[in-house]
Amino acid sequence: MAIREVLKMGDPRLLTPALPVADFASPELAQLIVDMHDTMRALNGAGLAAPQIGVGLQVVIFEVAANPRYPDAESVPFTVLINPVLTPLSDELEEGWEGCLSVPGMRGLVPRHTGLRYQGFDASGQPIDRSVSAFHARVVQHEVDHLHGILYPLRIRDLRNFGFTETLFPGQNLQDD
C-alpha cells in the first residue's frame, strides 16, 4: 500500500497528454492501480487519474459511494478504466459543480455532456463498454480530461462560478475528483 503525492495545479505534468497503456500484464501497471486506489481512498476522492500522481499513462479510477446526505447522487461502482474513449450520446450539456484533488479547496461550475458512452479496458485488459448519464458521466469526463492535460477550471465558462468550497458550500463535506 502506498499513498502517493497528488500533484497540484501549476505542475506542468498535469497539462501533459498521457500515453496509452501497451502492456496490461506488467507489474508496474498493477502497482500503479493499487497506489491510485490507496491514494484516492486516503483523500476521500471520487476519482483519480494517473497523471495526478505523476504517471503519464491513460489510467483513471473512480468510485462514488451512496451517501444518505446526498440522496440525488447515484453511486458509481469502483472502476479502473484504461485507454478510454468517450462518445457523447447527444449534444446536451449540463452545468454542475466539480472539485479536484489537484485543485484542493476549490469548486467550479463546469458544463459536461449529460450522457455518454465510454469504452476502454479494465486492469486485466478486458473490454469495458458502458453508457451512463448524470453524475457518473460527469465523473468520467472529469477523469478522462486529466489524460488530455485538462483541469476542470479550464472548462468553467464564467469564472464568477469558481471559488472556495468552504465559502460556496459551508459545512458540507464534499468529495473531490
- Report the interface residues with Ni ion, using CB under 5 A: 100, 177
> From CA 146, how far away is CA 150, in angstroms rounded?
5
CB-count burial class (<10 Å; 0-12, 13-18, 19+) for 87 = exposed
Q: Is 166 a catalytic residue?
A: no
Question: Residue 33's beta-bridge partner residues?
Answer: none
Catalytic pick from 28, 63, 92, 143? 143
Question: What is the number of the residue whose Cβ is closest to Ni ion?
Answer: 100
- Cα diameter, the chain: 46
CB of 145 to Ni ion, least distance (A): 8
Q: In degrees rounded to 5, what are phi and psi of residue 15?
A: -105, 5
CB of 176 to Ni ion, least distance (A): 7
CB of 47 to Ni ion, least distance (A): 7
Comparison of 36 and 100: residue with beta carbon closer to Ni ion: 100
Q: In degrees rounded to 5, what are phi and psi of residue 53?
A: -110, 20
CB of 53 to Ni ion, least distance (A): 12
CB-count burial class (<10 Å; 0-12, 13-18, 19+) for 130 = middle
45 contacts 176 by C-beta, under 8 angstroms: yes
Comparison of 63 and 177: residue with beta carbon closer to Ni ion: 177
Comparison of 47 and 120: residue with beta carbon closer to Ni ion: 47
Comparison of 35 and 177: residue with beta carbon closer to Ni ion: 177
Cell numbers for 172: 458540507
* Residues known to be catalytic: 143
